[in-house]
Amino acid sequence: MNAYIDEPVQFVLVSTIIILSISWILLLLATKNSSNKKNPPLPPGPKGLPLVGNLLSLDPDLHTYFTNLAQTYGPIYTLKLGKKTGIVVTSPAVAKQVLKDHDTIFANRDVPVAGKEATYGGSDIVWNPYGPEWRMLRKVCVREMLSNNTLDTVYDLRRREIRGTIRYLYSRAGSTVDIGEQMFLTRFDLQGIQGKMKGLAKRFDKIFESIIEQRLKITDGKESKDFLQFLLQMKDNNGDAKTPFTMTHLKALLMGARVFVNVWAIHRDPTIWEKPLEFCPERFLDGKWDYNGNDFNYFPFGSGRRICAGTAMAERMFMFSLASLVHSFDWSLPVGETLDLSEKFGIVLKKKMPLIAIPTPRLSNPSLYD
């Protein structure tokens, strides 16, 4: 994972929805040993139209749309997304099953179109399928680049960057500043992580292809037995069709189901949180909140094998940046403006409107801003 922070999207505090994909291959492997057990039915869900399923009724603000449907269909329900099946999870207990108890099965992420643009600086670990390559990237990330030790050794770099920002804000005293832009566009390519990561190109396709190739070898001359073999036969037999079923179609179909864990809803569930919509940071003061993926009432960094690899960095950066901002300046809104906290759905939640505020230096000695 690189630490080159160049998109505001990376710095929004609340993850919205964790999207995982479960490939048919993994599903087949997972059910292999229980092949004589009947498949359990899918969870309930709204009726969809033929072919498009529920796609036409989807609201772009997925987190609230999913939350509303949960009122009717409960903590786990099914949506038909065209030909794909979406399973939406909105309770801590089911989230635990998906993210922790069965995390090897659910450890792949789907690559949404928006996600491709909003990768963490373009590194591949986030979208890499669970497997040897992801394990290697994860090891490099967690043990070498983002370990506590490494992060401690680059404290001076962090300090320099933050001080540079504070200096800039001092020069803007009394004028409006876009805080998100200033804080989150700061470059922190600590240890040149991005450079190192660039060479490790995603080989998602190759991995599927190699599984398919292996399967081709096994099935050669034998009767088709499973879904993949059926698809392979279809690919081979329809060469003359108007729209041939190609290897690309086959790979797309292998990503047959998605699981959406609605973290947004769980983090606002009034049965878990007292007055969840009230801004009340004091609720975290008692220190009983564990955000290392063990508490499924509160898991801003995810959980299980794919838990955030940058928690140690986030802890350092956010605490340091926020403390520096409030220590060095008093902040006010431009006259006549009110604080707009409306949100915009994304892989992580963003503020709809940028936070524009005016810094007033509060330290008596100007040299402290040098």
Using CB under 6 A, list all residues that contact ligand HEM: 1, 3, 13, 15, 18, 99, 120, 125-126, 138, 141, 146, 300-303, 306-310, 313-314, 318
As a residue count, the chain comes to: 370
Of 180 and 300, which CB lies nearer to ligand HEM in the complex structure? Answer: 300
Q: What are the C-alpha distances in Å from 118 to residues 122, 143, 348?
A: 8, 24, 10
Q: How far is the CB of 25 from ligand HEM (least distance, A)?
A: 19
CB of 178 to ligand HEM, least distance (A): 19
Least Å distance between CB 120 and ligand HEM?
5
304-325: burial string, b at 16+ Cβ within 10 Å, e else: bbbbbbbbbbbebbeeebeebb
Pick 80 or 96: Cβ nearer ligand HEM:
96
Sorted by sequence, the CB contacts under 8 Å of residue 85 that are 6+ apart come out as: 42, 78, 79, 256, 257, 258
Least Å from the CB of residue 307 to ligand HEM:
5
CB of 112 to ligand HEM, least distance (A): 13
**Between 151 and 357, CB nearer to ligand HEM:** 151
CB-nearer residue toward ligand HEM: 150 or 229: 150
| Contact call for residues 126 and 118 (beta carbons, < 8 A) | no
Residue 359 has a CB neighbour count (10 Å cut-off) of 24
The answer to whether 149 touches 312, Cβ cutoff 8 Å, is: no
CB–CB of 90/75 below 8 Å? yes
Both tokens assigned to 88: 């939406």
For the bound state, the minimum distance from the C-beta of residue 353 to ligand HEM, rounded and expressed in Å, comes to: 20
Q: CA 110, 98, 290: angle at the middle one, nearest 5? A: 105
C-beta closer to ligand HEM: residue 157 or 253: 157
In whole angstroms, how close is the CB of 138 to ligand HEM at the nearest point? 5
Between 77 and 291, whose beta carbon lies closer to ligand HEM? 291
DSSP labels, 2-71: ------GGGG-S-B-EEEEEE-HHHHHHHHHTTTTSPPPPPPP----BTTTBTGGG--S-HHHHHHHHHH
Q: Which CB sits closer to ligand HEM, 166 or 313?
A: 313
**Shortest Å, Cβ 62 to ligand HEM:** 15
Distance CA 212, CA 206 (A): 10
Nearest Cα to 29, choosing from 206, 209, 211?
Answer: 211
Closer residue to ligand HEM, CB minimum distance, 87 or 125: 125
Amino acid at 28: L
CB of 137 or CB of 231, closer to ligand HEM: 137
Residue nearest to ligand HEM (CB): 310
Six token digits for residue 6: 């160049």
- Measured from the CB atom, the residue of 26 and 313 that comes closer to ligand HEM is 313
Nearest to 322 by CA among 167, 180, 172: 180
- Cα 133 to chain centroid distance, Å, stands at 19
**What tokens appear for 63 in the block?**
């987190």
Shortest gap between Cβ of 287 and ligand HEM (angstroms)?
18
**Any bridge partners for residue 77, and if so which?**
88
CB of 18: closest distance to ligand HEM in angstroms?
A: 5
Residue with tokens 């094998």, as numbered in its chain: 305
